[in-house]
């Protein structure tokens, strides 16, 4: 049995596999491969979040290394779990880190206004892991049948309300599971999004030259800023899955058969917090930080982990903002999510009230969030008036407006959306077109992009932005089918 340390300078997966006797299923050998680049990735995440980690001391890396080692410790347990035959459980993060078989995002705390990484990763295996060990390898009492023994363990999981959601229900961008997500945190993904946005705000405002060592190129500083700026990306994905989402597990005839649409209040709360991620004030990078990003140094070309630019050699803060907005829209306006919302709207019982305004809505059991209300809420945020004395916010708003219109057109033109989605998206697009008054060159340009679409929708091509930088703490592979 081997845990193998693999040194590599490129991104990659870690693996946990085993060789089994095909006749009996006995594990003959377990083999785990852990990639060294994981240390670099977590170290850099911590490096960007901490305040002035290298101020006056280039060797002051203990807090960053502690977090990186805590992650590799958790990963080692995760991959050993795979060698024993255990599947991913991506619902564990919603239950106080109940399993090492989740993909854990670092947990950031704010203590007296300061970001703390002390509890970034849990120590030891969780409640779910202990039950899966018992279920797979435990022995029944002499007087107990194997079936009764296994059922007793399932009963414990039911009593403790432990959830299990694995890969097929968690990885898809249009996934419906309210609890199965990768790289997220918290029992309530929406509230955790608000928290991580606050962490991100603190980290951006304190970011400085002292986030890199003496003598390092400022191009390194720009790359360290990437996981800071996009710190919320996985929590956005988790939160969007509440909109049109479902509360469910893998059900059986003999167990609980209940599954439900996520309640209107939860969906509204999620949508409110999602809208914060497309607010120009959230997306603006402090001017003090922008002054730290000159053109890339020789030998430090942009890579798949870097900010991309539409301005040549210069840093492009507007493209960074647009990339973040486009990420949010890609998840929120996924065709399957849109179809699921209109289908759920069609199945509500008589007497159900539609949520008309997400800002005024209070919890009600007989309410439904419609696609029209969702599109209206996004449109209201996107087309808010921004002060002319803040050209940075206005420029971000312009790109957000263009992206929103582009996503509406995509919903109309897509072969993957149903006719009700197309109708709602077209209605919203017409409403936007009506409100645009050609009062300036920008609004005139928006109209010039909308009007030809009606004449020749078959010519529509979705605007493609440069891909968001690779940034996950790198996934963990699994070798079983």
Which own/partner pairs from 284-291 qualify as long-range (CB within 8 Å, at least 24 positions apart)? 284/317, 284/321, 284/392, 284/393, 284/396, 285/204, 285/229, 285/317, 285/320, 286/204, 286/205, 286/207, 288/208, 289/204, 289/207, 289/225, 290/315, 290/317
10-residue mean pLDDT profile of the chain (481 residues): values are: 87 87 93 90 95 94 95 94 96 96 95 96 96 95 94 93 95 95 95 98 98 97 96 97 94 80 95 98 98 97 92 96 97 98 92 89 84 97 83 96 97 96 97 88 93 89 83 46 25
Return the pLDDT at 293. 98
Return d(Cα 324, Cα 347) in angstroms, integer: 34
Look at the block and give the residue holding tokens 């779910």: 128
Return the pLDDT at 476. 38
* Run of H or E including 35: strand 27-35
**Structure tokens belonging to residue 56:** 């006056």
| pTM greater than 0.85 (yes/no) | yes
Return the pLDDT at 76. 94
Choose among 314, 282, 469: nearest CA to 393: 282
> CB count, 10 Å around CB of 209?
13
> CB count, 10 Å around CB of 368?
20
Return d(Cα 353, Cα 454) in angstroms, integer: 33
Residue 476 three-state SS: strand
Return d(Cα 47, Cα 290) in angstroms, integer: 18
Q: What are the CA-CA distances from residue 241 to residues 111, 215, 238, 429 (Å)?
A: 29, 44, 5, 24
Return the pLDDT at 38. 86
DSSP state of 286: P
Return the pLDDT at 480. 30
**Structure tokens belonging to residue 196:** 């991580």
Return the pLDDT at 181. 94
Residue 137 three-state SS: helix
Return the pLDDT at 387. 64
In order, the DSSP letters of 406-449 are HHHHHHHH-TTS-HHHHHHHHHHHHHHHHH----SHHHHHHHHH
Residue 330 three-state SS: helix
Residue ranges per structural domain of the chain: 263-472
Return the pLDDT at 479. 36
List residues bridging with 135 in a β-sheet. none
| Residue 221 exposure: Cα atoms within 13 Å on the Cβ side | 25
Packed helices 419-435 and 391-413: angle between N→C axes, nearest 10 degrees? 140
- CA–chain centroid gap for 248, Å, is 20
């Amino acid at each position: 049995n081997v845990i193998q340390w693999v040194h590599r300078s490129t991104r990659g997966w870690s693996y946990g596999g085993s060789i089994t006797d095909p006749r009996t299923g006995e594990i003959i050998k377990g083999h785990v491969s852990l990639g060294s680049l994981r240390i670099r990735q977590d170290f850099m995440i911590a490096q960007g979040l901490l305040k002035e980690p290298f101020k006056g001391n280039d060797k002051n890396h203990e807090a960053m290394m502690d977090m990186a080692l805590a992650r590799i410790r958790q990963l080692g347990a995760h991959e050993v779990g795979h060698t024993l035959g255990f599947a991913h459980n991506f619902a564990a993060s919603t239950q106080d880190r109940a399993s090492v078989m989740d993909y854990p995002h670092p947990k950031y705390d704010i203590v007296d206004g300061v970001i703390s990484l002390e509890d970034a990763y849990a120590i030891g295996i969780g409640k779910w892991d202990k039950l899966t060990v018992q279920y797979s390898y435990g022995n029944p009492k002499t007087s107990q049948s194997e079936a009764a023994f296994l059922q007793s363990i399932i009963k414990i999981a039911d009593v403790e309300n432990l959830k299990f959601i694995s890969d097929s229900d968690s990885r898809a961008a249009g996934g419906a599971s309210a609890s199965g997500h990768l790289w997220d945190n918290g029992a309530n993904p929406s509230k955790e999004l608000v928290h991580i946005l606050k962490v991100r705000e603190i980290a951006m405002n304190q970011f400085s030259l002292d986030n890199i060592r003496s003598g390092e190129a400022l191009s390194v500083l720009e790359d360290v800023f990437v996981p800071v700026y996009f710190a919320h990306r996985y929590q956005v994905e988790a939160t969007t899955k509440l909109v049109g989402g479902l509360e469910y597990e893998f059900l059986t005839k003999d167990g609980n058969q209940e599954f439900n649409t996520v309640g209107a209040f939860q969906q509204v709360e999620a949508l409110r917090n999602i809208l914060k991620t497309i607010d120009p004030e959230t997306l603006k990078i402090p001017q003090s930080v922008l002054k730290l990003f000159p053109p890339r140094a020789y030998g430090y070309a942009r890579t798949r982990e870097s900010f991309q630019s539409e301005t040549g050699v210069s840093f492009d803060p507007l493209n960074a903002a647009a990339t973040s907005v486009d990420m949010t829209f890609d998840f929120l306006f996924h065709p399957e999510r849109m179809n699921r919302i209109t289908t759920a709207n069609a199945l509500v019982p008589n007497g159900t009230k539609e949520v008309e305004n997400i800002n005024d809505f209070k919890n009600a059991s007989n309410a439904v969030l419609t696609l029209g209300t969702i599109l209206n809420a996004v449109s209201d945020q996107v087309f808010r008036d921004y002060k002319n004395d803040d050209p940075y916010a206005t420029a971000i708003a312009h790109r957000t407006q263009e992206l929103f219109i582009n996503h509406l057109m995509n919903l109309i033109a897509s072969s993957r959306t149903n006719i009700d989605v197309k109708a709602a998206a077209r209605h919203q697009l017409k409403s936007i077109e009506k409100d645009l008054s050609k009062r300036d060159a920008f609004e005139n340009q928006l109209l010039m992009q909308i009007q030809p679409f009606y004449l020749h929708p078959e010519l529509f091509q979705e605007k493609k932005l440069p891909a968001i930088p690779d940034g996950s703490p790198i996934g963990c592979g699994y070798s079983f089918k």
